């Protein structure tokens, strides 16, 4: 028996305004699936994740590519912001000056597996790229939603940390769709792979049926190995490239 359909696309085109990024998209996301989303930079992964976020609504926790963190605020406050809507304006204001005891304890427990327990009072601007990425993941986890949507959430950490973080995400969510470039992880940690190339979804298959050679076709410009991705991650530990989050509208294609 197949699991519940959460989101379904049937020959749709997705993009920004009048600019089409993904064409003729037919795709189904089911409950409980762990999906790796692959493709070169600019292929349309962020566009697809943005539309999934819109359609899933409050079912989905969101971890954006550029983290969306507030640099001057502490690790604790950045994670706490995931539940601002669950507290009154007065409580949120009070929390800025004096952390709410229950919220502080909840965030402290969450920071332990993230390796951030000793950094809760430190401002995010003082953290490395990998530490910021873990804060962003922590904020998404603190939302306590069923589905985790991540736009390269493990791009700035080493392979061992990437695996640990993906396992933590898996433990706390019923399903996930995660964009990444580590092809080996896509094959070993996820149930299914979605692959984008030249504006189309060209791979939609169980990971067990795929090989690294199959995934190479998604990277015509280059075929980064896991070691290459790790080297890039180490370089990114020094800092992040912050960018505003952009709403991503979608357009219905011809049926």
3-state secondary structure (DSSP) of residue 255: coil
Q: Could you tell me the pLDDT band of residue 15, with boundaries at 50, 70 and 90?
A: confident
Entry pTM: 0.82
pLDDT reported for residue 222: 66
pLDDT on residue 253: 42
Closest by alpha carbon to 109, among 160, 172, 167?
172
Q: Is the pLDDT of residue 225 over 60?
A: no
Give the model's confidence band at 237: pLDDT under 50 very low, under 70 low, under 90 confident, else very high. Answer: very low
pLDDT of amino acid 69: 92
Residue 16 burial by Cβ neighbours in a 10 Å radius (0-12, 13-18, 19+): middle
Q: Does the pLDDT value for residue 246 go beyond 70?
A: no
Strand partners, 176: 34, 148
- The pLDDT, as a whole number, for residue 228 is 47
* Alpha-carbon span 175 to 33, nearest angstrom: 5
List, in order of start, the domains of the chain with CATH numbers: 5-251 (3.40.50.300)
Q: Identify whether the C-beta of residue 134 lies closer than 8 Å to the C-beta of residue 115.
A: yes
Would the pLDDT of 97 be above 80? Answer: yes
Lowest mean pLDDT among 106-110, 171-175, 249-253: 249-253
46-72 pLDDT, tens digit each: 999 999 999 999 999 999 888 789 999
């Amino acid at each position: 028996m197949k699991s519940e359909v959460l989101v379904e696309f049937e020959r749709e085109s997705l993009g920004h305004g009048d600019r089409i990024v993904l064409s003729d998209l037919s795709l189904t996301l089911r409950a409980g699936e762990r999906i790796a989303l692959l493709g070169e930079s600019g292929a349309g992964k962020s566009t697809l994740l943005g539309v999934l976020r819109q359609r899933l609504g409050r079912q989905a926790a969101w971890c954006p590519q550029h983290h969306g963190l507030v640099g001057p605020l502490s690790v604790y406050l950045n994670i706490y912001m995931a539940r601002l809507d669950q507290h009154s304006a007065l409580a949120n204001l009070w929390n800025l000056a004096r952390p709410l005891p229950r919220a502080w304890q909840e965030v402290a427990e969450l920071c332990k597996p993230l390796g951030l327990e000793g950094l809760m009072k430190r401002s995010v601007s003082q953290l490395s790229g990998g530490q910021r990425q873990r804060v962003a993941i922590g904020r998404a986890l603190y939302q306590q939603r069923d589905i985790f949507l991540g736009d390269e959430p493990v791009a700035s950490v080493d392979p061992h940390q990437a695996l640990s973080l993906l396992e933590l995400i898996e433990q706390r969510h019923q399903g996930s769709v995660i964009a990444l470039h580590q092809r080996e992880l896509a094959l070993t940690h996820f149930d299914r792979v979605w692959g984008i190339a030249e504006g189309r979804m060209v791979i939609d298959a169980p990971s067990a049926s795929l090989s690294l050679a199959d995934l190479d076709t998604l990277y015509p410009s280059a075929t980064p190995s896991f070691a290459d991705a790790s080297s890039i991650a180490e370089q990114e530990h020094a800092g992040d490239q912050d960018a505003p989050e952009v709403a991503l509208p979608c357009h219905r294609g011809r049926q």
